[in-house]
Amino acid sequence: MQVLITGGTGVNGSWVVRELVNEGINPVIYDYAIDTAMIKDIVDKVQLVKGDILDFAAFLRTIKENKITHIIHLAALMPAQAQANPLYGFHVNALGTVLVLEAARIMDIERVVYTSSKAAYGAITGKAAYPTYEPVNEDYPRYPVKVYDVAKVASEGMCNVYNENYGLDYVAFRFASIIGPGKLTRHGPMSIHSKLIENAMLGKPTKIPHGADEKDDMVYVKDIAHAIVLGLKAKNLKHRVFNIGSGKGYTLVDLANVIKKIYPNSQIEIGPGLDYMSAGVPYYCIFDISRAREELGYEPRYTLEDMVRDYIDTMKKMGIEPMYTP
> Is the pLDDT score of 188 beyond 70?
no
Using an 8 Å Cβ cutoff, are 311 and 180 in contact? yes
Pairing type for strands 3-6 and 28-31 reads parallel
> What is the DSSP annotation of 159-227?
HHHHHHHH---EEEEEE-EEE-TTHHHHHGGG-HHHHHHHHHHTT--EEESS-TT--EEEEEHHHHHHH
pTM > 0.85? yes
Q: What percent of the chain has pLDDT over 90?
A: 92
Average predicted confidence (pLDDT) for the chain: 96
**Residue 186 binned pLDDT confidence (cut-offs 50, 70, 90):** low
What gap in Å lies between CA 6 and CA 49, rounded to an integer? 10
pLDDT at 187: 60
Which candidate, 187, 225, 193, 155, places its Cα nearest to that of 13? Answer: 225
Is the fold of 3-177+219-244 the same as that of 181-217+248-282+303-318? no
The single-letter DSSP state of residue 29 is: E
**Residue 33 binned pLDDT confidence (cut-offs 50, 70, 90):** confident
What does the domain layout of the chain look like in residue ranges? 3-177+219-244, 181-217+248-282+303-318
**Higher local confidence (pLDDT), 259 or 188:** 259
The CATH class, in words, for 181-217+248-282+303-318 is alpha beta
**Higher local confidence (pLDDT), 240 or 38:** 240
pLDDT at 94: 98
Assigned CATH for 3-177+219-244: 3.40.50.720
> Is the pLDDT score of 34 beyond 90?
no
Residue spans of alpha helices (H) in the chain: 11-22, 56-65, 79-84, 86-90, 96-106, 147-166, 183-187, 192-201, 221-233, 252-262, 290-296, 304-318
The tens digit of pLDDT for each residue in 103-131 reads 999 999 999 999 999 999 999 999 999 99
